[in-house]
């Protein structure tokens, strides 16, 4: 369905699930771009027995991505300060 969590739409779905949203239509609705036509399929794939125990994995993945993004920002800032 969604090939990446690096887009706003792709990230909104796991964030909603981690936050406790269990209505399959809610995380699917913000889909934009190429994901928008897939909203009916997204709703179907989000219906199921996902509970807070399952949310641990995407929560850890999102936290890891955030940490990497922070490292990239820090390194980029340091590189920008290097003499030319």
Q: What pTM does this model have?
A: 0.77
Mean pLDDT of 55-73: 96
Q: Please choose, from the candidates 28, 14, 21, the residue with its C-alpha nearest in 3D space to the C-alpha of residue 57.
A: 14
Q: Are 59 and 18 in contact (CB under 8 A)?
A: yes
**Separation CA 74–CA 84 (nearest Å):** 19
Confidence check: pLDDT of 10 > 60: yes
Report whether pLDDT(1) > 70. no
- Domain coordinates of the chain in residue numbers? 8-81
Name the residue with higher pLDDT: 67 or 8: 67
Q: How confident is the model at residue 64 (pLDDT cuts 50, 70, 90)?
A: very high
Q: Is the dihedral of CA 12, 59, 61, 64 positive or negative?
A: positive
- How far apart are alpha carbons 45 and 41 in whole angstroms? 6
Tokens of 50: 């996902």
Mean pLDDT of 33-56: 88
């Amino acid at each position: 369905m969604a090939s990446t969590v690096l887009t706003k739409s792709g990230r909104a779905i796991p964030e909603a699930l981690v936050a406790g949203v269990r209505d399959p239509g809610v995380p699917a609705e913000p889909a934009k771009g190429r994901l928008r036509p897939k909203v009916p399929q997204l709703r179907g794939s989000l219906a199921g027995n996902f509970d807070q125990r399952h949310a641990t994995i995407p929560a850890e993945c999102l936290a890891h991505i955030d940490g990497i993004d922070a490292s990239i920002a820090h390194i980029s800032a340091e590189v920008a300060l290097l003499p030319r």
